[in-house]
Amino acid sequence: MEFIFIFLPVFMIAYAAVRKEYKNFVLFTGSVVFYSFGVKKPVYILLFLLTVLLNFIVGQFIEHSRHTKKLWLTFGILFNFWWLIFFKYWTFGTENINHFFHQSFTVKDIILPIGISFYTFQNVSYIIDVFRGKAKAEKNLINYGAYITMFPQLIAGPIVTYDHVAKELKSRTHTIQRVEDGLKTFTIGLGYKVLIANQIGGLWSDIAMIGYESVSSRLAWLGIFAYSFQLYFDFCGYSLMAIGLGRVMGFDIPRNFDHPYMSLTMTEFWRRWHITLGSWFRDYIYIPLGGNRKGSGRMVFNTFIVWLFTGLWHGASWNFVLWGMVLFLIIMSEKFWTGKTLNKIKPLGHAYMLLIIPLTWLIFAITDFHELGIYFKRLLPFLPQKTYAIMEGDYIQYWKDYWKYFAAALVFSTRLPEALYKKIKNSFITDIALLAVFWASVYCMYKGLDDPFMYFRF
């Protein structure tokens, strides 16, 4: 509410009032103010600004050094990933050293700076692209600061590479049409988050409160489908809000989702889900390792590394490592055995994904392996399990409460609403509908029916 009715209007008025040469300064300073509201410790703001300054300087040295380019690149990569490793993985690593090697090192509860995974990847991609000659080093610190700190996508993506916005940082077009399109996209994303993700996510929260051991098999399946839709509309909603605000300010932030739940294979799914993260791992990990150019054995190894890092990027917990490894095995099985059949027989592919998507998200959702085991047994009641009191017909009551959110999630995960929107987006009916979505979202937030974005934790 504060963002929509205080920060955003004040920022937009200031942004619109200044001349073109000062807009990046307003964006930079406004984004730092925005970031300061989200961090737990003021020192994290200084660290954030330090990473901006240091990567800007490293980019200059890489471009103008003849014999020390690799040295500067190595320093920049180590600097960026050191902070990510320290804040995100230090506690996890210490706990595992204590457990496996019977040590007693002190474990500190380190608070993760918000957005560090995203801005670390953008800084690293910048210095690597300058090293490769793909991008020219930015000569203006304010421009570079505006690129890294750009508040619409700062704390949860999409991950924007420098070359994607380099021209727009220097000169971009501002029109009433772009502002209108951007605000409409922002409103759609807001509706996805507040009216679908938050509401259907209530079922997953209800099941957690009941206890996984006390739900029926049918309610367990409803719950994991609810979580799958919640995660999609939460993150897709955030991405659309970022894209919309970027468009208002003259930036074309890349698309992050392409209806992934319509995929026929997990391979296709991960080309459509969190597209900018997948592109980052492809361009800066998979291809530098050799991609698929050095034989199938090396391709399998490179893919394994990518999915190991993908799992760890999402969180410092063994369930994320397991999740990444399960996805690696599924994708490899599709490449060598099942992929062609699933793509050829579409009903089979959709049925396969209907089962595999929620099962993989379950590993993603539950960090405790004991609780994860209980939930899997609830999904598959023929497995041996302990006897607990289960309310008969529990799924019926919850279906009555949540069916309308499932219906909305199912419809809006297809291409039909987007296709319809493209045809009528400039009509009066669309304007009225989006106004209704906006004020319905505001009402839900006012009533306390809003939750933090799920990807803030990453």
DSSP secondary structure letter of residue 212: G
How many whole angstroms from its chain centre is CA 141? 27
Q: Where in the sequence numbering do the catalytic residues fall?
A: 314
Write the DSSP assignment of 84-101 as a string of letters: HHHHHHHHHHHHHHHHHH
* DSSP-derived secondary structure letter, 184: H
Q: First vs last Cα of the chain: how many Å apart? A: 23
Closest Cα partner for 195 from 407, 389, 399, 378? 407
Torsion of CA 159, 161, 165, 169, to 10 degrees: 100
Tokens for 358, please give them. 């929620």
In the numeric block, the tokens 């050799």 are attached to 290
Instruction: Report helix, strand or coil for 175.
Output: coil
Reading the block at residue 423, the tokens are: 């045809």
Contacts of 443 (CB under 8 A, 6+ apart): none
Contacts of 430 (CB under 8 A, 6+ apart): 184, 421, 424
DSSP state of 103: -
- Cα angle, residue 41 at apex, residues 35 and 47 outer, rounded to 5°: 65
Q: How many CB atoms lie within 10 A of CB 447?
A: 8
Most distant CA atoms of the chain, gap in Å: 73
Distance CA 80, CA 52 (A): 10
The SS3 call for residue 391 is: coil
CA distance 416 to 405: 17
C-beta separation of 334 from 265 below 8 A: yes
Residue 102, number of CB atoms within 10 A of its CB: 7
The alpha carbon dihedral of 266, 201, 89, 278 has a sign of positive
